[in-house]
Chain A
Amino acid sequence: MTDNPESLLIQLRKGVLEYCVLAQLCAGPAYGLELAQRLARHRALFASAGTLYPLLSRLKRQGRVETYWEESSSGPPRQYYKLSKAGHLALEAFRSAWGPFSKDVQTVLEESS
């Protein structure tokens, strides 16, 4: 196993990234490009916009995200992604697990430094 920052980030993103996508949809539905542009601001989380779509496809298959098409006034129709009830529940569960988890990691790292 290599310990360069990029491969570490790949490991760390697993299991976290999909909840970040759910969190982004919590405020309201968004179409793919819009979501990709919003997430592109967080470079440690999203290396490239393309990786968003496999996540969305998986979340849809799991029933956590729903999609619908809507006409756009400025181009081709857009596919919107919307959080389902199961998605809201999954996000809530993640929130309650992530708080203590990240706090513990922080504490352990500070104790050992």
Chain B
Amino acid sequence: MMAKKTTTGNSLVDAYIRELELALTGCDPRERAETIVAVQSHLDQALSADASDGETKRVLLELGSPADIAGAMTPAPQMETNGRKPSDPFALTALVTSILSMVILIPFFYFAIPLALGTLVAAGFHLKAAQANKPLTRAAIVVSALVLAVALVVGLTLVAVGDPIADMPAPAVPLEP
């Protein structure tokens, strides 16, 4: 019966596999495990258990360097597995800040305006970033723009209404005594 001999114990092969394992860290975990098994299997098939160093080196050269193999792997594993939902703390913060500016618009009018303006500008720049969560960032832009629009209307109304009110008692004062 034929023994199921493998290259395990061949120091050149072992070193190559170790280097490959290292080169593939950060790749998609399932593809990584699969690739290492497949490369090990390739070497088991291509080399006899008692292959010489020269023969081993030739087969490893044909296979290419671990870095070359790593170059052909799926580069961004989280992006690939999570699809379009990588967490984007910046966009989330922007959305929370824009909502906060809306909440404090009435009680803290003068704090809400710079907060909404800052959020609008920051989210606007962030939208151009490749890893940005676009819907979340757009939501932050819409909310902060809305807050600014409301603030503008309220501000203009106060100016328009405030002046006559301030002026009104003025003539009443000298008339009274």
Contacts and interface: CB of A to CB of B under 8 A. Distances in A.
A48 B65 CA distance: 9
A43 to B, nearest CB: 12
Contacts of B46: 33
A49 B31 contact: no
Interface stretch (B69-77, B92-100, B109-117, B146-154): B69-77
B28 interface: yes
B35 A54 contact: yes
Contacts of B88: none
Interface stretch (A72-80, A83-91, A105-113): A72-80
Contacts, number: 89
B128 interface: no
A42 to B, nearest CB: 14
Interface residues of A, number: 26
A78 B41 contact: yes
Interface in A1-59: 31-33, 36, 40, 47-51, 53-58
B44 interface: yes
Contact of A54 (B5, B31, B44, B45): B31
Contacts of B163: none
30 contacts: A31-B41, A31-B45, A32-B41, A32-B42, A36-B42, A40-B62, A49-B42, A49-B64, A50-B39, A50-B63, A50-B65, A51-B64, A51-B71, A53-B34, A53-B39, A53-B69, A54-B69, A54-B73, A57-B31, A57-B34, A57-B35, A57-B38, A58-B73, A61-B34, A75-B4, A75-B48, A76-B5, A76-B41, A78-B45, A79-B41
Interface of B: 2, 4-6, 28, 30-32, 34-35, 37-39, 41-42, 44-46, 48, 62-66, 68-69, 71-74
